């Protein structure tokens, strides 16, 4: 007779090809993505006040940003606000300058 356990093991995957591994990783990332939250006008006003206060007192801020379906965090000082391009320039702790669009901000708080 047939050994069914041996037949089942024969077709089990013993290794994963790099292409399959990448596809599984992409599928896992896709499941973790979130939709862009819609912020209220009150939240936006609170962010503006927090940023203006931090700039006048030269304080560091923690930003939560929407980045292609994920939330990214940046900490640093706001060094410039570009109203025409609708973005901030943030100098982080390493001295790098980050460009942040107004529309990508989800939350701003003092550390």
| Total domains, the chain | 1
DSSP, collapsed to helix, strand or coil, labels residue 74 as: strand
Is residue 98 included in any domain, yes or no?
Answer: yes
DSSP, collapsed to helix, strand or coil, labels residue 5 as: helix
Residue 71 sits in a domain of what CATH number? Answer: 2.30.30.100
Domain residue limits at 50: 41-109
The pLDDT tens digits for 13-52 are 566 677 877 887 777 777 777 888 889 999 999 999 999 9
The pLDDT tens digits for 68-87 are 888 899 999 999 999 899 99
Is residue 90 included in any domain, yes or no?
Answer: yes
Q: Which residues pair with 97 in a beta bridge?
A: 91
Cα end-to-end span (Å), the chain: 70
Is residue 68 included in any domain, yes or no?
Answer: yes
Q: Cα dihedral sign for 90, 92, 97, 99?
A: negative
């Amino acid at each position: 007779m047939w050994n069914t356990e041996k037949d089942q093991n024969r077709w089990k995957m013993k290794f994963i090809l790099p292409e399959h591994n990448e596809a599984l990783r992409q599928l896992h990332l896709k499941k973790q993505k979130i939709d862009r939250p819609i912020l209220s006008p009150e939240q936006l006003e609170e962010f503006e006040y927090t940023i203006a206060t931090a700039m006048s007192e030269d304080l560091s801020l923690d930003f939560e940003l929407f980045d292609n379906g994920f939330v990214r965090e940046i900490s640093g000082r706001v060094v410039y606000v570009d109203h025409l391009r609708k973005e901030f320039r943030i100098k982080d702790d390493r001295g790098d300058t980050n460009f942040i669009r107004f529309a990508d901000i989800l939350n701003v708080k003092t550390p």
